[in-house]
C-alpha cells in the first residue's frame, strides 16, 4: 500500500522513469464536474523540468492522456479517473554507472535493502517523475476546491540557503509567484536566488530551501481531532515529497521563543463572524481548521544529484567513488512549489468530503 | 475514522477527560508475547502530570486495566488488546466559565464549528488525557521492537525557548534523560530550563520548545517509497500530538544552508557492512530506513492554558475576556517526551510488520 | 486488522469470554444524537442466551457501560463511543478438557495453527460473546438509520432444517418476530420449530437454518458500483457472523431457475416515483440500492457444540474422542436474528455516510 | 473508494467500456518475481467474449499493456504494476436507446440516482469490461500463490438452470474444465448445458446458474477470526462480481438439513498431520483455513440483457418499453468462471501476506 493517498478522495500513483509511463488513478472525485483538462496540463507544465535555464534542460512533453472516468461530454462520472503520461527520451547510458554503485543520499541503497531489486535507471519510484501523478491529481483536487468550496492553494519559494524572501501569505497571488522562474514573489530576492542557483549550477552543485504555502478560504471545521489532524495529514503529505525534510504549521519552530500569553491567538467577533487577531495557529487548532488562512512551511534539502566525485560503495559492498554526469537540477524548489500545492489540495479535498459525512444535521 | 492509527499494528483510542475513562484497543499485536504490564504502567507514570513541581500538581493514579487480549498466563493471543484507565478527581467547577467562552488557541472553537457540540469540561478528545491511550499502546510497541528487533526509541527535551541543550543521539541513555524532571540529558542546560519553567509558571505563563528523538537499531528496509515514507508517517504521528507545530528529519530546516556536495551522506563499507560517514538523512533515504540511527526533532508551542486574562468570544459570538484559573502546565515538554517516544514506536512497529509482508524470498 | 469493520462508521470490537469483558469502540457516529441507551441494552437482551428454554440456560446480565463519547446531557460528541460489557459467572472447569483437545468444527484447531496460542476457555474471539460488541454498535447504527433516514431493519427465523416459514418481508413487524421465542413470525411454523429444537436439545444435538431479513426505506443510491457493492458488503458482514455459511441477495440461488426475461424486474413510474413490479434484485442493482426493499437470506449451520462423543485429535496430534458436556444452544438462530440485524444496520449506515460524500451538488 | 480491493495486495481498477480503456494498478505485489505476461494474456483470453458461439460474438483483442512495475528484465520491482487494455470496436449506435431508457435489472437507474450521471454507452463501470482489471490482477495473484505457496485455484460451471453437474473438487483439473466451451468438467452435463444455452440464445433470452470453486493447497492459518474471516472476504469478493446473487462456503444452504452431530467434521491425525474426515466446513473454521480444500459456490442470475421487449421507464420517469437489440450473452457463466478464480486468488494472496505479519516467531 505504498502508493495510495487519501481516504475519500483517494489516489493511486504508478510508474517509474524507465517504463512506459507514469500516472494516477483518482478514486472518489465527485460526479458531474466538467474536468478542466487544460488546467491539468498547465499544472504538469509548471512541474516539468526544462522550463528555464534554472532547472534541468531535459525536454519533456509530459502530455496527459485521460484513460477513464469521463462522460462523452467531459463530465466526471464519479468513477475512477485514470491519467497517463508516457515516458520519452530516456537516455539510460547516462545512468549506467549507477547499476553498480549507490548514489549518496539517493534511495538506491535503501530500496535495494528493502526489495532486493531496484530500477537503477532513473531511480524508479523515487524518480521525480513519480510526482507527475500527484500533480495531475492535485490539479483535479484544486478544481474541486475552487468550484465547490472557493478555496485557493498557493505555494512559493521563500528561502534559498540563507536568502529569505518577504512574502505576505494573505495577499500573495499566483501571478506574483509565476512572475519569476524561481517562483519567489519577492522580486528583489528572486533575482538574488536566481543568481545563486545559477552560480551553484555552474559549480556542479545544488542548493535547498524553504517553500511557504497558504490555503485561503478553508471554512472552520475541516480536519479530525486526534490522529487525522489537519496539520498531521499535511505534514505526512508534504514529507512524502522527494527531498522534503521539514514541516511547520503556523508559528512552527519559531513559536517556541514566545510565551503562551504572546503566542495564543485572541478571538474577536465582528457581526457574528469570529476571527483571530493573529494567526500563530496557522489556521488549525486542535487539528481542525478555524476559518483563518492555513499556513505551512516545508524544508527541502539540496538535491542529491551533484556533478562531483563522491565516496560511495558498490552493490558488492566495496568502497568506490561515483562521478556525477549529465544534467542536474541545481535547485528543485521552483518545481516543488507545484508539488506542494498539489499535496495540500489533496489533503484539503479529502477532509472537505469527510466533513460532509461528519454531521447529519446540516 | 479520526481515532485510529496504523495499518497492521492498529490502535483505536477513546475517551474524554470528563467521562468514565480513556483507553485504547490495539489490534494486530503479534501473539505469544508476555505482555509487560509493569512497563505499560511505568510509561503511563512517566506521562502523568504531577510527577514534580515542574508540571501540573493534580494527582492522578492512571492505573491501567487490561480488558482483553491476554491468555490466563499473560501471553498475547493475537486478539485485540483493550486497555482502560479510569478518570478520577474531576473538578469541573474549575472549568465552568469555559462552557460559554472559547479558550484562545485551544480546540474549543474549531470543535464546536465541526461537530456543533463539544465536551467543554476538560477539552474532550483534545484533552491531554487522550494521549494515555497512545502511551499505553506505545509501550506495547516498544516491547515488540525491543524483543523482536532490538530497536530502542528515546526522546528528550532539547530546547526550551532559546535554551538549547547539547545531546548526542548516538550515545544518549534513558537514565540520562530521566535524571532530571525536565528530561533534558544535558545537566547544565537542564538546570537552566528548570529555572526558566519555574519562573514562567509563577508568572502564570507557559513556554514551548523542541523535543529530539532517536531510534537506534532499525535495520535498512523499513518504510515505503512513495506516500508512506518512514519520515512522512513519523511526521504525521508527531504532528498529531497536542501542541506540536513542527517536524524535522535529519538535517531538517538547517540542512538548507548547505550545498548538496556537503549535505550528501557518503557511503563506506567495512567487512560488508555499509554505513554513512555522516547522517544528514537522519537514517531515512527515499522514505526507507538505511540502517543508520533515525533522527527527528519536533517543535511544541507554549501550552495554550495560561493564568492570564485574554481576549476571546462567547459561544454567542460576543467579545469578552477569559481569566485563566486553577493549575496549569507551564511546560508540557517533559511529559510530551513520553508521547513522542510512543508515537515513534507505533510507526516503527507498523512498518516492521509491513516489511515482513513485502518480500517473500526471506 | 481482524477486528474492525466499516469505512466511515467504523467499529472495533474487543474481548474474549474469559477475560474482563467484551466491547466495542464506535468511531464516526454523527454528533448531537441523543444516544438511546435503553435501546442498546434491549438489543443486548435480545441477543443474550437464557431468554427462554430454547436456548442456553446460562444466566448473563450483559449490562452495557458507556466509557466515552457522550456529553453530560447524553448527546453524542462525534468522538469514539466505547462500550463495555463485563464477563460474569465463568465456569471454566466445564471447558478443561478443551485445553488438550480440539472441538470438531470449532475454531480451536485453526486458531492454534494461526497464532500458536488460543484462549481455550470459551473460544476466545470465536466465542459468541464477541458478537456483543457488534450488537451494541448495531443498535447505535439502527438509531442513526431510524432518526436520520427513516430506515428499518428486521430479521427473522425463516427455516429450521426442512421447516420453512412463510413470511412477507414487506409487511412483517418486529412484534410478530418477537411474538415467539424462536423469532419466526409465522405462528404455525414457529410452534413446529420450537418442538423441533426442543427435541433436538433433549437429544444433545443441534440444528441450523435460514434467517431472512429486510431493510425498508433505503433510498436509491446507497452502495458503490464495483468492489463495495451493497450486496458484497452485506455478504461480508453476514458471513463474518459465527456459524454463517451462506448468503443470498434477492432471488439468490433460486433465481437461476428462471430465464432473464422472467427474472428482470420491470420498472414502472407513478407520479414521477419509480418502482419495480417485482423484486428479484432484492433492492440492489449494480451494487447500488434502487429504492425497493433490500432482501437478504443467510444460512447458519447447526451449532458445533453438541453433547455427543466425537472423534477428534489432541494438541499433540493424537487421535482421541471428546465428550460434549454442560449446557448448549440447540439452535443459535433466534439469537442470531439480532446479530443479522446489527450487521445489516452497520453496513447501511456506513454507506449512508459514504453517499453524503459522493455528490457535492446536493 | 469504490474501486479498490485488498489490504496488502491491493488492486485499483479503472475504466469504462466507452473510454480509452480499462485496467488495474496492483500495489503490494512481492518483488523479484518474473511476471508471467503470457499467463496474464491467456487469462484475459479465457475471460474474453467471442471464444465460442455460446457467448457474445463480438471480437475483442484485449491485449494487455504493462505500464509500470517491472525491471528491464521483467522482474517485479515491488512497485505498483499498472496494466492497461484498450477499448476497441465500440458501436454505440447499438446503445443509443439506452440514453433515454433504463434497462431493467441493469445498474442504469441506480447509477443515475447515485451520481446524477451515467455512462449510458455500454454500462460504464457496471460493464463486464470492468472485470478485465480483476482478471489481470487475479492472474498475478495466481502466480504468487503458485510459485510461493503451491496453491491452485479452480472454478467451473456446476449448474445451469436445473441442470446439475457432478464434479469432485478434490480431483477436478483445469484441462477438464477447459475441455468444453461451457467450462463444465462433467462431459455429459456439459453437452446438455450447451444445448440449453444455445436454445435460449436463439430465443433471445438468457440463463443463470451456479459456479463451483476450490482452492487446493492452502495451509492452515490464513484468514482472520472476526470480521475478515476468510469466507467473509471470499463472499464479498464474489458478490462484487456482476450478476452474482448468492454465496456458499462448505455445506452452505444444504448444511441446514443436518444435525450438528452429522455436520461436524471429525479430526483425525496421521503421522502428525491433521485432517478432517469430511469437509462440511469447506476448509474454513472460525474464519481461518484449516488445511483442507477451500470450497465455495456462487449463484449467478440470468444475464439482464435479453432480446425481448420489456417494460421500463424513461429518464423523464415516464412508462415505456425497451426492445433489446444486437448481440447478447445468453449465459455469462463460462466467462464468469475466470472472474471467480481471479477473485478467490486475490483474497487468498492478500491473506497469505497478512499471515506473514501475524506471527513474529516463525
In C, which residues are within 8 Å of A360 by CB distance? 30, 144, 148, 356
Q: How far is D49 from chain A (nearest CA, A)?
A: 21
| Predicted local distance difference test score (pLDDT) of residue C353 | 94
Q: Quick one: average pLDDT of A15-25? A: 93
Q: What is the pLDDT of residues D285-344, one digit of tens each?
A: 999 999 999 999 999 999 999 999 999 999 999 999 999 877 788 999 999 999 999 999
Alpha carbon A70 to its chain centroid, in Å, reads 26
Q: What is the pLDDT of residues D190-208, one digit of tens each?
A: 999 999 999 999 999 999 9
Chains that touch B (3 or more CB pairs under 8 A): A, C, D
| Predicted local distance difference test score (pLDDT) of residue C48 | 87
List the single best residue of C117, C219, C239 to mutate versus D (max D Cβ within 10 A): C239
| Predicted local distance difference test score (pLDDT) of residue C146 | 98
| Predicted local distance difference test score (pLDDT) of residue D288 | 97
pLDDT grade, residue C58 (50/70/90)?
Answer: very low
Predicted TM-score (pTM) of this structure:
0.96
List the single best residue of C132, C286, C287 to mutate versus D (max D Cβ within 10 A): C286
- Work out the mean pLDDT of chain D and round it to a whole number: 93
- Work out the mean pLDDT of chain A and round it to a whole number: 93
pLDDT grade, residue A143 (50/70/90)?
Answer: very high
- Helix, strand, coil fractions of chain A, as percent rounded to 5: 35, 25, 45
Percent of chain D exceeding pLDDT 70 equals: 94
Q: How far is A351 from chain B (nearest CA, A)?
A: 11
The answer to whether B111 and B89 have CB atoms below 8 angstroms apart is no
| Predicted local distance difference test score (pLDDT) of residue B92 | 55
User: Residue C324 pLDDT > 90, yes or no?
Assistant: no
CA–CA separation, B352 and B341 (whole Å): 16
**A and D: number of Cβ contacts within 8 A:** 154
CA–CA separation, D123 and D254 (whole Å): 35
CA–CA separation, D224 and D347 (whole Å): 12
Q: What's the DSSP call for residue A99?
A: G
The answer to whether D309 and D325 have CB atoms below 8 angstroms apart is no
User: Residue C263 pLDDT > 80, yes or no?
Assistant: yes
Q: What is the pLDDT of residues C3-31, one digit of tens each?
A: 999 999 999 999 998 889 999 999 999 99
User: Residue D108 pLDDT > 50, yes or no?
Assistant: yes
Residue C357 has its nearest CB partner, among A8, A359, A360, at A8
In B, which residues are within 8 Å of D31 by CB distance? 358-359
Q: Quick one: average pLDDT of A64-82? A: 95
CA–CA separation, D355 and D230 (whole Å): 12
| Predicted local distance difference test score (pLDDT) of residue D93 | 57
Q: What is the pLDDT of residues A301-352, one digit of tens each?
A: 999 999 999 999 999 999 999 998 777 889 999 999 999 999 999 999 999 9
The residues on B that touch D, with CB distances below 8 Å, are 7-8, 28, 30-32, 78-79, 144, 148, 225, 353-354, 356-361
Q: Any idea which of B206-220, C194-208, C275-289, D120-134 has the lowest mean pLDDT?
A: D120-134
User: Residue D220 pLDDT > 90, yes or no?
Assistant: yes
**Nearest residue on chain D to B358, judged by CA atoms?**
D30
List the single best residue of C111, C211, C264, C318 to mutate versus D (max D Cβ within 10 A): C264
CA–CA separation, B305 and B49 (whole Å): 15
Give the ipTM: 0.96
Residue B30 has its nearest CB partner, among D30, D148, D358, at D358
Which residues have CB under 8 Å from A136's CB, separation 6+? A23, A24, A40, A43, A44, A64, A83, A85
List the single best residue of C227, C268, C273 to mutate versus D (max D Cβ within 10 A): C227
User: Residue A359 pLDDT > 50, yes or no?
Assistant: yes
Please spell the DSSP secondary structure of C179-226, one letter per residue: TSTT--S-HHHHHHHHHHHHHHHHTT--B-EEEEEEEESPPTT-S-SS
In A, which residues are within 8 Å of D19 by CB distance? 66-70
In D, which residues are within 8 Å of A78 by CB distance? 114-115, 117
Q: What angle do CA B83, B86, B89 make, to 5 degrees?
A: 160
Percent of chain C exceeding pLDDT 90 equals: 83
In A10-56, beta strands by DSSP E: 10-14, 21-27
Q: Quick one: average pLDDT of C323-352? A: 94
**C-alpha cell of residue C87:** 464477563
**Nearest residue on chain D to A85, judged by CA atoms?**
D67
| Predicted local distance difference test score (pLDDT) of residue B90 | 58
Does the distance separating the beta carbons of D287 and C107 come in below 8 Å? yes
User: Residue C308 pLDDT > 80, yes or no?
Assistant: yes
In B, which residues are within 8 Å of D356 by CB distance? 356-357, 360
| Residue indicated by cell numbers 507514570 | B45
User: Residue D62 pLDDT > 60, yes or no?
Assistant: yes
User: Residue D58 pLDDT > 50, yes or no?
Assistant: no
In D, which residues are within 8 Å of A27 by CB distance? 1-4, 12
**Alpha-carbon distances of B321 from B101, B310, C330, rounded to whole Å:** 8, 5, 67
**Nearest residue on chain A to D85, judged by CA atoms?**
A67
**Nearest residue on chain C to D312, judged by CA atoms?**
C267
Which residues have CB under 8 Å from D342's CB, separation 6+? D43, D131, D134, D135, D137, D138, D139, D141, D142
**Alpha-carbon distances of C96 from A250, B233, C100, C102, rounded to whole Å:** 61, 45, 8, 11
| Predicted local distance difference test score (pLDDT) of residue D57 | 46
Q: Edge to edge, what strands does the sheet with B163-164 contain?
A: A163-164, A152-160, A209-216, A294-300, A244-249, B244-249, B294-300, B209-216, B152-160, B163-164
Q: Quick one: average pLDDT of D69-76? A: 94
First-to-last alpha carbon distance for chain B, in angstroms, is: 34
Please spell the DSSP secondary structure of A46-87, one letter per residue: HHSS-SSTTS--------EEEEESB-TTSBB-SS-EEEEEE-
Q: Quick one: average pLDDT of D51-60? A: 54
CA–CA separation, D227 and C131 (whole Å): 11
| Residue indicated by cell numbers 468530503 | A353
Residue B259 has its nearest CB partner, among A102, A207, A219, at A207
Per-residue pLDDT of chain B (362 residues; tens, 9 = 90+): 589 999 999 999 999 988 899 999 999 999 999 999 999 999 999 998 766 655 554 455 889 999 999 998 999 999 999 999 999 865 555 567 888 999 999 999 999 999 999 888 777 887 889 999 999 999 999 999 999 999 999 999 999 999 999 999 999 999 999 999 999 999 999 999 999 999 999 999 999 999 999 999 999 999 999 999 999 999 999 999 999 999 999 999 999 999 999 999 999 999 989 999 999 999 999 999 999 999 999 999 999 999 999 999 999 999 999 998 777 889 999 999 999 999 999 999 999 999 988 777 76
In D, which residues are within 8 Å of C255 by CB distance? 208, 245, 299, 301-302
| Predicted local distance difference test score (pLDDT) of residue B84 | 97
The answer to whether C73 and C217 have CB atoms below 8 angstroms apart is no
List the single best residue of B358, B361, B362 to mutate versus D (max D Cβ within 10 A): B358
Q: Which fold has domain C4-358?
A: Chorismate synthase, AroC fold (3.60.150)
Question: If residue C61 lies in a helix (H) or strand (E), which one and from where to where?
Answer: none
Residue D20 has its nearest CB partner, among A14, A18, A66, at A66
Handedness of CA A39, A41, A44, A46 (dihedral sign): negative
Question: Would you kindly state where each structural domain of chain B is located, as residue ranges?
Answer: 4-358
CB environment A6-32: b (16+ within 10 A), e (fewer):
bbbbbbbbbbbbbbbbbbbbbbbbbbe
Name the nearest CA neighbour of C13 among D249, D228, B7, D359. Answer: D228
Residue C225 has its nearest CB partner, among D109, D111, D267, at D111
Which residues have CB under 8 Å from B55's CB, separation 6+? B49, B181, B329, B330, B331, B332, B334, B335
Amino acid at each position: 500500500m505504498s502508493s495510495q493517498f487519501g481516504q475519500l478522495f483517494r489516489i493511486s500513483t504508478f510508474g517509474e522513469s524507465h517504463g512506459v509511463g507514469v500516472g494516477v488513478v483518482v478514486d472518489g472525485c465527485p460526479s458531474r464536474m466538467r474536468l478542466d483538462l487544460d488546467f491539468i496540463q498547465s499544472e504538469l507544465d509548471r512541474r516539468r523540468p526544462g522550463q528555464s535555464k534554472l532547472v534541468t534542460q531535459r525536454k519533456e512533453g509530459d502530455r496527459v492522456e485521460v484513460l477513464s472516468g469521463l462522460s462523452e461530454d467531459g463530465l466526471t462520472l464519479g468513477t475512477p479517473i485514470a491519467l497517463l503520461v508516457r515516458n520519452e527520451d530516456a537516455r539510460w547510458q547516462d545512468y549506467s554507472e549507477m547499476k553498480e554503485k549507490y548514489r549518496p543520499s539517493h534511495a538506491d541503497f535503501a530500496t535495494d535493502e528493502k526489495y532486493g531489486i531496484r530500477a537503477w535507471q532513473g531511480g524508479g519510484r523515487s524518480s521525480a517523475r513519480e510526482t507527475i501523478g500527484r500533480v495531475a491529481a492535485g490539479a483535479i483536487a484544486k478544481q474541486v476546491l475552487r468550484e465547490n468550496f472557493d478555496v485557493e492553494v498557493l505555494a512559493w519559494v521563500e528561502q534559498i540557503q540563507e536568502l529569505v524572501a518577504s512574502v505576505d501569505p494573505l495577499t500573495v497571488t499566483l501571478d506574483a509567484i509565476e512572475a519569476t522562474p524561481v517562483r519567489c514573489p519577492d522580486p528583489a530576492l528572486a533575482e538574488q536566488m536566481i543568481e545563486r542557483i545559477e552560480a551553484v549550477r555552474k559549480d556542479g552543485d545544488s542548493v535547498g530551501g524553504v517553500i511557504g504555502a497558504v490555503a485561503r478560504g478553508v471554512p472552520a471545521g475541516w480536519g479530525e481531532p486526534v490522529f487525522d489532524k489537519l496539520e498531521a495529514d499535511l505534514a505526512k503529505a508534504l514529507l512524502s515529497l522527494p527531498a522534503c525534510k521539514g514541516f511547520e504549521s503556523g508559528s512552527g519552530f519559531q513559536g517556541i521563543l514566545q510565551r503562551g500569553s504572546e503566542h495564543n491567538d485572541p478571538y474577536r467577533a465582528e457581526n457574528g463572524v469570529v476571527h483571530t487577531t493573529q494567526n500563530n495557529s496557522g489556521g488549525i487548532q486542535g487539528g481542525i481548521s478555524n476559518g483563518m488562512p492555513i499556513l505551512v512551511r516545508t524544508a527541502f534539502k539540496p538535491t542529491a544529484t551533484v556533478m562531483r566525485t563522491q565516496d560511495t560503495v558498490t552493490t558488492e559492498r566495496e568502497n568506490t567513488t561515483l562521478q556525477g554526469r549529465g544534467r542536474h537540477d541545481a535547485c528543485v524548489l521552483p518545481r516543488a512549489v507545484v508539488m506542494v500545492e498539489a499535496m495540500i489540495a489533496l489533503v484539503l479535498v479529502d477532509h472537505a468530503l469527510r466533513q460532509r459525512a461528519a454531521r447529519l444535521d446540516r
